[in-house]
Amino acid sequence: MSAVAALRRHLEETIALDRMRLRMALRQWDTRSAVAALREQDRVHEADTPRVATMRQHVERLLLAHAITFLARTDDRGLLNSYARPWRREIESLDVRASGDYASVLHEIGHVLHPCGPAHRRVSTGHETVCLPCELSAWRWALAGAIIWDRGAHAQLVMGLRSYRPYASPSEARDIDALIGEPTYRAVVHRLAVGQLEQDGIIGSARRARAATARRLKQHAEMQEED
């Protein structure tokens, strides 16, 4: 199987499976409950798997590199609430036991690394004030830095940003729609799949082969011109 075919098959299988799981959850619960259920389902099925270990190790490396303290909660109270305290270089969230937890932690790390500025516009949601530019920035950071991203992770992003959309400016609303949309999810999954294939040497080998062929053709053409 060629590298392109392997990548296409991986993307199709990943996206189809994740979409099916999220659709099943949404049939039974509202969006917030569906995300909670999906996240808890992932915790049960993924607990102590190599995949979760990889996410935890990545978080640990980020915390160490940026000198951030992680207050990890292990109970389910306030299941979908996480916090960043940039002035303390501290975040609080559920311990990483599934991809939704991982996405939340990355998002909070993004808040610490890009704290709210005095010129930013904050809006009231009725029970809190939020800075939408900071929310968007933190989720962009999470998307760019994630080494694993699936429907559980993206559902966490969708739930967070969609709750702020009623308070967004027109330009912020467009940014929210772009981030929560299917094209963004597919782009992140594609980036990670390509990275894995490159790490496995599949794409690298194909690129080197193409480059070597191009060099040989060029050399042959030059020799023909000399003749």
Q: Say what the pLDDT of residue 135 is.
A: 96
The helices-and-strands tally (H runs, E runs) of the chain is 9, 5
Sign of the CA dihedral running 120, 125, 128, 132: negative
- Does the pLDDT at position 215 exceed 80? no
Percentage of residues in the chain having pLDDT higher than 70: 63
Beta strand pairing call for 69-73 and 90-94: parallel
Residues 174 and 203: their CA atoms lie apart, in Å, by 35
Tens digit of each residue's pLDDT (9 = 90 or more) over 140-161: 999 999 999 999 999 999 999 9
Average pLDDT over residues 66-76: 88
- Does the pLDDT at position 75 exceed 60? yes
Higher-confidence residue of 87 and 195: namely: 87
Sign of the CA dihedral running 193, 105, 42, 39: negative
Sign of the CA dihedral running 141, 149, 89, 162: positive
Tens digit of each residue's pLDDT (9 = 90 or more) over 23-51: 544 444 455 555 555 556 555 556 668 89
Average pLDDT over residues 64-91: 85
Report yes or no: 105 and 70 within 8 Å, Cβ to Cβ.
yes
Position 98, amino acid: A
Residues 126 and 161: their CA atoms lie apart, in Å, by 16
Average pLDDT over residues 103-128: 90
- Does the pLDDT at position 208 exceed 80? no
Query: Which residue is associated with the tokens 């704290």?
Result: 115
Q: Partners of 11 in the beta sheet?
A: none
Closest-CA residue to 32 (of 146, 159, 173): 159
Average pLDDT over residues 132-141: 96
Residues 133 and 111: their CA atoms lie apart, in Å, by 11
Residues 84 and 70: their CA atoms lie apart, in Å, by 9
Residues 164 and 142: their CA atoms lie apart, in Å, by 18
- Does the pLDDT at position 109 exceed 60? yes
> How many whole angstroms from its chain centre is CA 17?
17
The whole-model pTM stands at 0.71
Domain coordinates of the chain in residue numbers? 28-184
Give Cα separations from 165 to 112, 143, 182 (angstroms). Answer: 22, 19, 17
What value does the mean pLDDT of the chain take? 79
Q: Say what the pLDDT of residue 54 is.
A: 94
Higher-confidence residue of 19 and 219: namely: 219
Q: Say what the pLDDT of residue 118 is.
A: 82
Kindly report the three-state secondary structure assignment for every residue of 135-175. HHHHHHHHHHHCCCCCHHHHHHHHHHHHHHHHHCCHHHHHH
pLDDT bucket at 58, cuts 50 / 70 / 90: very high
